[in-house]
Amino acid sequence: MVWQTIKNIFSRNKLADHMPPVRGKLTAFEPLHKKNWFGVGGPAEVFFEPADSDDLSFFLKRLPDLPITILGAGSNVLIRDGGIPGVTIHLTKNFAPLRVERNLITVGAGIFVSELARVAEKNGLSGFEFLSGIPGSVGGAVRMNAGAYGRSISDCLVSLKIMTPDGLIQTLDTADTRIFDYRFCSLPAAWIVLEAVFKGTPAASSDIAKKMAEYKVQRDKAQPKGVKTAGSFFKNPAGLQVWKLIDAVGMRGARVGGASVSLKHANFLINDKGASAADIEALGNEIARRVLDKTGVRLEWEVKRLGVKQ
C-alpha cells in the first residue's frame, strides 16, 4: 500500500533529511482531525504551511516525487482514517494579503470567504453577500465553485494566480466559461490556487449588510448549527433537490456508528457521536445506494474524500 511504502521512507526523525529546507511550518504525521469540520481522519504524512509563494515554489521545485494534497479550511472534505500519504499543503490566512482597488478585490487563497464578504461590505462592493455564511477559504471555495442563493464564486471572479506542482506561477483569466460549472472547477487537481481577483458592484454598505442579514436568517432556519458537518454532502442532481430524494428513501435521521443524517437538513451528514471517517463514508454510500435503487438517480458526492482507509 502506498501509505506503508512512504511510511518506510519517511520516519519522524528522517523527515528533515528528505524535505527541502523551508521557512514555513513543516511537520511529519500532523494530526488532521482538528483541521476539518467533520473532526475525523488520520494524520498527514508530511504537512506544509508555506510562508509565502516563494517558499512554496522553492519547496515544490525540490520535492521528491510524492503525492500532493491541498487542504483549505477543511469544510468540504472527508479525511479518511488512514490519513493522507505524501505531502499535504495548507495555505494560511497569512499567506497573502487582501487588497481593494476601486471595484476589484485581490485575496490570498487562505483567507476565509466570510472575510472577503465583510471587506466587500465595508468598501461598498456588492455581489459577495452569499459568501458570508460559507465557512471555507478562498482557495477551497474556488476549487468547489462554492455558492448559495443562486450565485457561485465564479460569478464574481476575474482572474486566478495558481501554482503548478512544479512550482511555477500562472495567471488565468477566468472569463472562460468552461472552467466552472455548478460546484465544479475543471482546473487540474494538483494546481494550487494562490490568489484570486474578484469584481464587485458599487452599492450602499447598509444595503449589503441587510442582504447578508437576510441570508443569515434563511441559513439558520434551514441548517443545523454547532455540529460537525461538511455542509451539503451530495450535489443537487439537475432539476432536483437532493434532500427530497434522501427524504423519499427514508434516510433522514439514519445512522451508521457515530454518524447520522441531520434531522434538520437531510443533505447534511453529521458526526454527532464520535464517528470515524469510515462511518461517515458508509452512511454516504448507503444513502447513494438507496436513492439509486428506489429512484434511479445516481448521486454525486460534493464532499471530497481525501487520503486512505485504515
Ligand X SMILES: Cc1cc2nc3c(=O)[nH]c(=O)nc-3n(C[C@H](O)[C@H](O)[C@H](O)COP(=O)(O)OP(=O)(O)OC[C@H]3O[C@@H](n4cnc5c(N)ncnc54)[C@H](O)[C@@H]3O)c2cc1C
Catalytic residues: 183, 232, 302
According to the binding rule CB under 6 A, does residue 96 interact with ligand X?
A: no
| Helix extents (H) in the chain | 2-9, 15-18, 53-62, 113-122, 138-144, 205-222, 242-248, 277-295
Cross-strand bridge partners of residue 172: 160
Closest to 134 measured CA to CA, from 227, 70, 219: 219
Instruction: Determine the interface stretch with ligand X among 96-104, 209-217, 226-234, 249-257 (rule: CB under 6 A).
Output: 226-234
Question: Cα(93)–Cα(108) distance, rounded to whole angstroms?
Answer: 7
Task: Write a three-state SS string for 166-235.
Answer: CCCEEEEECCCCCCEECCEECCCCCCEEEEEEEECEECCHHHHHHHHHHHHHHHHHHCCCCCCEEEECEC
- Dihedral sign for Cα atoms in the order 246, 249, 250, 254: negative
Binding mask 106-135 for ligand X (x = CB under 6 A): ---x------------------------xx
CB-based contacts of 90: which residues, under 8 Å, 6+ apart? Answer: 35, 47, 48, 49, 70, 71, 72, 110
Is residue 37 involved in binding ligand X (CB under 6 A)?
yes
- Nearer to ligand X by C-beta: 139 or 200? 139
User: What 3-state class would DSSP assign to 25?
Assistant: strand
Q: Is 307 in the site for ligand X (CB under 6 A)?
A: no
With CB under 6 A, what is the number of residues at the site for ligand X?
Answer: 29
By CB under 6 A, residue 151 contacts ligand X: no
Shortest Å, Cβ 262 to ligand X: 10
Counting contacts by CB under 6 A, is residue 76 touching ligand X? yes
Options 40, 87, 111, 148; binder of ligand X; rule CB under 6 A: 148
Q: Which of 147, 200, 284, 307 binds ligand X (CB under 6 A)?
A: 147
Please, which residue, 232 or 276, has the CB nearer to ligand X? 232
91 lines the binding site for ligand X (CB under 6 A): yes
Q: Rounded CA gap, 97 and 161, in Å?
A: 13
Indicate the residue among 86 and 136 with the shorter CB distance to ligand X.
136
Q: Can residue 24 be called a binding residue for ligand X (CB under 6 A)?
A: no
Q: Which of residues 193-222 bind ligand X (CB under 6 A)?
A: 193
Grid cell, residue 153, equals 464564486
- Per CB under 6 A, the list member of 26, 60, 71, 278 interacting with ligand X is 71
Residues at the site binding ligand X, with contacts judged by CB under 6 A: 37, 70-77, 91, 109, 134-137, 139-141, 143-144, 146-148, 192-193, 229-231, 304
